[in-house]
Amino acid sequence: MSISKKEFKRVTVKSLMDMKKRGEKISMLTAYDFSMARIIDNANVDIILVGDSASNVMAGHETTLPITLDQMIYHASSVIRAANRALVVVDIPFGSYQSDPKEALRSAIRIMKESGAHAVKVEGGIEIKESVKRILNAGIPVMGHLGLTPQAIYKFGSYSVRAKETEEAKKLIEDAKLLERLGCFAIVLEKIPASLTKKVSEELTIPTIGIGGGKFADGQVLVIHDLLGMTHEFNPRFLRRYMNLYEDMGNAISQYVKDVKSQDFPNEEEQY
Ligand code: KIV
């Protein structure tokens, strides 16, 4: 059954804050296209993230760096057309906000205007303070992203757990508090120790959304292709697979090939 616009009120940045206050966990998943976003929205996921992980799972790149602003806007517009209830957040891609706050604002405005999204997400803390401020001053809600920040993969050199050492953990806490002070409405905490997620989540009034950050985050996010088992070669400890679509889809498609070859498909009922 599909959900009409009238049946559900849209999740807002304010309702997410209220969820944190009353201890209700927030669900977030990625989507990059209309059909997947419609299924996710109908399943009552609170936030749909049009992640720059589209660069990996949709385009087959090794990192998130190559995806462009135009490509993110294309994915976001497709998702927005399907999302009646979820808040839709869009990653500003690498190279479109780090160099200069004015460019950051221009990129955020393009995403909001051209896709109809509800908020943007950026990676980093103090280093991008001025860009975050500029975007927020224009009235655009910003979600932060700390810990493992894939746009900085070449600086770190690996996708291993972050902020295990005291110094890095201290900086992460300071960055999280800074993002909250600036006015961000939530922060993704990626691949950090559960104890650090707990500390940050307790010290902030805005929600934290974990991915590989353990159970103490105020919400959880996964890449939809990982949850559905489409990316069978990706096996991090934090991932819970709810399906094995790589195998199931492969089997279905092989069966289709067999049916075409054997002339079983189409049959009498499947033709005009
Ligand atoms: O791009 C993405 O999918 C993300 C999530 C992993 C949080 O940033």
Q: How far is the CA of 2 from the centre of ligand 1 (A)?
A: 27
Confidence of residue 100 (pLDDT cuts 50, 70, 90): very high
Number of other CB atoms surrounding residue 173 within 10 Å: 18
d(CA 84, CA 81): 8
AA identity, residue 120: V
Does 190 qualify as catalytic in the annotation? yes
Contact between 196 and 8 (Cβ < 8 Å)? no
Q: Whose CA is nearest to atom 5 of ligand 1?
A: 51
Q: Helix, strand or coil for residue 259?
A: helix
**pLDDT tens for residues 134-189?**
999 999 999 999 999 999 999 999 999 999 999 999 999 999 999 999 999 999 99
Question: Which residues, 6 or more positions from 179, have their beta carbon under 8 angstroms from its beta carbon?
Answer: 125, 132, 142, 144, 146, 187
Domain boundaries in the chain? 13-241, 245-272
Structure confidence at residue 23 (pLDDT): 98
How does pLDDT run across 185-226, given as a tens digit for each residue? 999 999 999 999 999 999 999 999 999 999 999 999 999 999
Element (H, E) at 257: helix 245-261
Segment 4-63, tens digit of pLDDT: 555 569 999 999 999 999 999 999 999 999 999 999 999 999 999 999 999 999 999 999
Q: Say whether pLDDT at 132 is over 70.
A: yes
* Ligand 1 pocket, residue 28 CB under 6 Å: no
Burial class (CB in 10 A: 0-12, 13-18, 19+), 206: buried
The CATH architecture of the domain made up of 13-241 is Alpha-Beta Barrel (3.20)
Q: What is the mean pLDDT of residues 115-137?
A: 98
Query: In angstroms, how far is CA 86 from the centroid of its own chain?
Result: 12
Q: What are 28's strand-pairing partners? A: 47, 221
Of 190, 203, 247, 269, which one is the catalytic site residue?
A: 190
Q: Is the CB of 123 inside a 6 Å radius of any atom of ligand 1? A: no
Region 94-111: mean pLDDT is 97
The minimum-distance atom of ligand 1 relative to the CA of 123 is: 8
Which of 27, 45, 52 most suits a substitution to test ligand 1, by most atoms within 8 Å of the C-beta? Answer: 52
Using pLDDT thresholds of 50, 70 and 90, give the confidence band for residue 269.
very high
Cα of 76 from ligand 1 centre, angstroms: 14
The total of other beta-carbon atoms located within 10 Å of residue 168's CB is 14
Cα angle vertex 113, ends 86, 120, to 5°? 50
104 lines ligand 1 (CB under 6 A): no
Judge whether 151 and 94 are in contact, CB under 8 Å: yes
Distance 131 CA to ligand 1 centre (A): 20
